[in-house]
Amino acid sequence: MRLLVVGKLNGQLSVAVKMAMNAGAKVSHVESAEQATNALRAGQGADLLMVDYALDIASLIAANEAERMRVPVVACGVDADPMRAAAAIKAGAKEFIPLPPDAELIAAVLAAVADDDKPMVVRDPAMEQVIKLADQVAPSEASILITGESGSGKEVMARYVHGKSRRAKAPFISVNCAAIPENLLESELFGHEKGAFTGAMARRIGKFEEADGGTLLLDEISEMDVRLQAKLLRAIQEREIDRVGGSRPVKVNIRILATSNRDLAQAVKDGTFREDLLYRLNVVNLRLPPLRERPADVISLCEFFVKKYSAANGMAEKPISAEAKRRLIAHRWPGNVRELENAMHRAVLLSTGAEIEEFAIRLPDGQQMASAPSPDAAVARGAQMAADAVSRTFVGSTVAEVEQKLIIDTLEHCLGNRTHAANILGISIRTLRNKLKEYGDAGIPVPPPQGGIGAAA
């Protein structure tokens, strides 16, 4: 985590800085609020500001937000004056740290405000296969497209890939393309020069330059306007960007990761996403299965969230009751891991017994989660659903036709990437190529290969 300390480094603040560094923070320092805004504007980057409460915190936050630099603030001060501490919180600070500092308090505040504690919790074989592929490609410089339903953990996967890469000690910068208005996203990505447009009071370094040497995550890339996609494509290809209003290109050294919860191949057909940009981003595809397709992960994730939110709320950690576990596993979780996390946060707060009871597991509308079906009924229903699916899909087909459909469908899912498709199918790349040659010779359409790792036919 990157921590920017704002204020004069007297004795107690210096001690707090050392404690923050011991807690894993990368610390930089400026003395005034104006210098803090200038540092962020210049691309220094910070995940958290620790500000002396003697400074004008309200003005600092307002100046940063005027340029869309939203960095959380914690206030600190010696011999804490309750009135001034309360004023700092009212001004927008998330927390207050009294000085002389306490090492455990500083570590807890850093963790709570930065919310970096998002490990990859995996038990299900479906996700273990994705992790295996992620481990294989993380050390490379290849662009990776991470796909999956909303709430399935795409940003967590992106951070995992960054952490396993050769750039792990460099910045990880995330831009939510869906959350930033179209007319502001270009400046957010590429930066701007003073006077480039109304309100551009000074040069602003964009996320590409802020991520220099590290990883840039383009979250929900499918929401980017087609016109801006052309400029993004050039930046990825040439590894240089043009600031808005700039007169010369700026070289950048970054690795690109992108996420999408939409079918980008369909978006290409619809004309809302550039095909050449898709090829550049999708050198490797990591598809995250929805939570309903990885039931073995559910209880492990629940236990992780119970531990996290018990600590965050100062409550004793409780085990999850057997009936609650049955209901958790049986639920389909349309909101995926994000919905599960919120449900367990509520459960920690609502539970009244020695265990987290089933009635504490509530849906977003406040209703209790439905009872789980009996094991025999669940098995029978699952078997019937599987049999119906097979009947609808394969009955009346030969084994060769079923094999052909499976291979072609898997290759389409991988957008032509032969190596990825072979890994999913559990066959060698040579076997896959031989099959595809047979299909091609027979006049059967085969998804064309893309450029990048393992794409050649």
> For 446, which DSSP code?
-
Average pLDDT, the chain: 85
Q: Which two tokens stand for residue 36?
A: 């803090």
Q: Quick: pLDDT tens for 71-111.
A: 889 988 887 678 888 888 899 988 888 888 788 778 777 76
Q: Quick: pLDDT tens for 117-152.
A: 578 899 999 999 999 999 999 999 999 999 999 999
Q: What φ, ψ does residue 278 adopt, rounded to 5°? A: -60, -45
Q: Cα separation of 156 and 322, whole Å?
A: 29
Q: Nearest to residue 373, comparing CAs of 420, 311, 326, 321?
A: 326
pLDDT of residue 354: 94
pLDDT of residue 204: 84
Q: Quick: pLDDT tens for 7-31.
A: 887 778 888 888 888 877 788 889 8
Measure the CA angle with vertex 162, ends 160 and 166; round to 5°: 130
Measure the CA angle with vertex 154, ends 153 and 159; round to 5°: 100
Kindly state the average pLDDT of the residues 431-443. 89
- H or E stretch including 376? helix 375-394
Q: Cα separation of 179 and 157, whole Å?
A: 20
CATH class of the domain at 137-287: alpha beta
Q: Which two tokens stand for residue 16?
A: 């707090």
Radius of gyration of the chain from Cα atoms? Answer: 25
Contact between 333 and 292 under an 8 Å Cβ cutoff? The reply is yes
Contact between 48 and 2 under an 8 Å Cβ cutoff? The reply is yes
How would residue 256 be classed by pLDDT, with cut points 50, 70 and 90?
very high
Q: How far is CA 224 from CA 191, 219, 277, in A?
A: 17, 10, 11
Q: Quick: pLDDT tens for 354-391.
A: 999 999 999 888 888 877 655 555 444 544 544 444 45
Domain boundaries, given as residue ranges, for the chain: 2-114, 137-287, 292-360, 394-441
Q: Quick: pLDDT tens for 186-209.
A: 988 998 888 777 767 788 888 999
Above pLDDT 70, what percent of the chain? 90
Contact between 455 and 286 under an 8 Å Cβ cutoff? The reply is no
**Whether domain 394-441 has CATH 3.30.70.100:** no
Instruction: Establish whether the linkage from the previous residue to 100 is cis, with ω within 30° of 0.
Output: yes
Residue with tokens 């999708």: 282
Enter the CATH code of domain 2-114: 3.40.50.2300
Do 137-287 and 394-441 fold alike per CATH?
no
How would residue 395 be classed by pLDDT, with cut points 50, 70 and 90?
low
- Which segment of 237-251, 295-309, 320-334 scores lowest on mean pLDDT? 237-251
pLDDT of residue 107: 77
Helices (H) and strands (E) in the chain, counts: 19, 12
Enter the CATH code of domain 292-360: 1.10.8.60
